[in-house]
Amino acid sequence: MNKFTPVQTSLAPAAVGPYSQALVFNTMIFCSGQIGIDPQTNVLVEGIENQTHQVMKNVSAVLTAANSSLNFVLKTTIYLSDMKNYAVVNEIYGSYFSDHRPARATVEVARLPKNALIEIDAIACTH
């Protein structure tokens, strides 16, 4: 029988609503969107560069808790509050992946939780 397993780690911001940081189904990991909240302070970091780095750290922490890593990411969606930030986000995002390039969509949205500048969700598989 297939079973969903929720993922919870204190190394990424806690879910603030009725959702999990991620769900594992068989070998697939479905990560909820992460914004640039520092899990140590529970405060949104400032600026697009800092938020992008923090988002990637948060996604990585959730994947680690799910027995995976950025190397096993299959697809991401990047949500930007302003497409003018695309180039800087693209450069920072790319620095977290070596030769591995997941499938990706990037969209501009009207607003993100806590007025974040960026949010990223991911689909990955376990090791």
Position 16 confidence tier, pLDDT thresholds 50, 70, 90:
confident
pLDDT of 1 over the 70 cut: no
Degrees to nearest 5, angle at CA 52 with 98 and 50: 120
Report pLDDT digits (tens) over 26-39: 999 999 999 999 99
Q: CATH assignment of 4-125?
A: 3.30.1330.40
d(CA 91, CA 88): 5
Q: 10 Å Cβ neighbour count for 77?
A: 15
d(CA 19, CA 103): 24
Residue (of 122, 115, 110) closest to 46 by Cα position: 115
What is the pTM for the complete model shown?
0.96
